[in-house]
Amino acid sequence: MADLAIETHGLVKTYGDTRAVDGVDLAITRGGVHGFLGPNGAGKTTTIRMLATLIRADAGTGTVLGYDISSQADEVRSRVSLTGQFASVDEDLTGSENLRLIAKLYGHSGKAAVRRANELLDAFGLSDAADRQVKKYSGGMRRRIDIAASIVVTPELLFLDEPTTGLDPRSRNEVWDIIRAMVDFGTTVMLTTQYLDEADQLADRISVIDSGKVIAEGSATELKASVGAGALHVRVMHRDERENARDILVRELGVDVERSADPQGLTAAIDDRGRVTRALSALDSEGVGLAQFSLGQPTLDEVFLALTGKPVAEAAVNEEEAA
């Protein structure tokens, strides 16, 4: 089991009456990106802070890279890095000073600290801003200096807490590129996000968390498959053909077919894609004209709705519109 990057059993953290984390079991393998997906207030930050030994669990056990998070916290700390949800650098200091500070705290001499700081500032495209106070950085630059500070000494495992929340689309892409570069190198990344497309883009496996509990786990594809293979949408040429078309589809697909708000539209959840072709040719041979049809993969939005019975956080939706 030492091969697991993170393993937890029944982690719990309560704040007053709030069960922020309510019995989380995780088994995360080394390498790649593990997505921790959930709406605002789901318990993502609290879980990550327990794993990074910043706060102590009220109940449950956890190991990170094989070390116990309560009894071997120091071993954990020397192997992992955390980029918090809110800037975990000193805003009053310059970018360069921040990196030198961290480098010195890891034991680098003054000279080596300067060398390492410059190397990272270059890599993260921050050389020109090196001597400016971080509070004068843009949102994207802050994120980059924050991530740079997390790899001053290369960690085996990196926690990234909502690294792209509040970023404009281009800065977000830059952060994604940085994460991909780290994964290519072999660093394990645990990434929390409220954004379904982000988990979809980056994560090999995803744990969906809601109200302090992990409610689903798997790859993006598996999660999508768990709510069916997708949905078939058809639009008949004439509205008086809809009932006829519906009968044919019910017969051929063997599932319920819903009438959509559009008087010519029909929608069916599919679990066997093979039957779709047959159903469509049946419509054709029985003379039902189709204006259009589409077969869609379910989105993670639909997954979320199916799992929790409620739509994803407003914020995530807004962000997608903005993008």
Partner 1 sequence: MSTYTGNQEGEPINEPAGPATTAVSTAVDMSAAPSTEAAPQADAIAQALANTERPPRPSALSTSVTFGWRALLKIKHVPEQLFDVTVFPVVMTLLFTYLFGGAIAGSVDGYIAYLAPGILVQSVLMITMYTGTTLRTDIDKGVFDRFRSLPIWRPSALVGMLLGDAVRFTVASVITAVVCWFIGWRPAGGIAGVAAGVLLLLIFAFALGWVWTFLSLILRTAGSIMGVAMMVMMPLVFASNIFVDPSTMPGWLQAWVNVNPVSHLVTAVRALMDGVSPGSDLTLSLMWAVILVAVFGSLTMWKYRDPK
Ligand X SMILES: Nc1ncnc2c1ncn2[C@@H]1O[C@H](COP(=O)(O)OP(=O)(O)O)[C@@H](O)[C@H]1O
Instruction: Give contact residues for ligand X (rule: CB under 6 A).
Output: 15, 18, 20, 38, 40-46
Tokens of 257: 């077919």
CA–CA gap between residue 63 and residue 72 (Å, rounded): 9
Q: Which residues contact 62 (CB under 8 A, 6 or more apart)?
A: 6, 7, 8, 9, 11, 26, 50, 51, 68, 69, 70
Q: Of ligand X, partner 1, Mg ion, none, which one sits near residue 90, judging by CB under 5 to 8 A according to partner kind?
A: partner 1
Q: Which of 31, 32, 125, 228 binds partner 1 (CB under 8 A)?
A: 125
Please tell me whether residue 250 binds partner 1 under the rule CB under 8 A.
no
Q: Which does 185 bind (CB under 5 to 8 A by kind): ligand X, Mg ion, partner 1, none?
A: partner 1
d(CA 183, CA 29): 13
Among the residue ranges 45-53, 72-80, 265-273, 296-304, the one whose residues contact Mg ion (CB under 5 A): 45-53
Closer residue to Mg ion (CB): 70 or 85: 85
Residue pair 11/201 in contact by the 8 Å Cβ criterion: no
Which of 223, 226, 228 has its CA nearest to residue 199?
Answer: 223
Near partner 1 by CB under 8 A: residue from 167, 202, 248, 303: 167
Site string for Mg ion, 67-96 (x = CB under 5 A): ------------------x-----------
Minimum gap (Å) between residue 211 Cβ and ligand X: 9
CA distance 234 to 303: 22
CA 24 to chain centre: 17
Among ligand X, partner 1, Mg ion, none, the one that 171 touches (CB under a kind-dependent 5 to 8 A) is: partner 1
Site for Mg ion (CB under 5 A): how many residues?
Answer: 3
DSSP code for 72: S
Q: Pick the binder of Mg ion from 8, 45, 98, 194 (CB under 5 A).
A: 45
Q: Output the smallest distance, CB 316 to partner 1, in A.
A: 16
Which residues make beta-bridge pairs with 22? Answer: 12
d(CA 33, CA 30): 9
Please check whether residue 4 is in contact with residue 63, taking contact to mean a CB–CB distance below 8 angstroms: yes
**Site residues (CB under 8 A) for partner 1?**
49, 52-56, 74, 77-78, 80-82, 84-94, 97, 101-102, 104-109, 112, 116, 119-120, 122-125, 127-129, 132-133, 138-141, 144, 149, 151, 153-154, 166-171, 174, 177-178, 180-182, 184-185, 187, 322
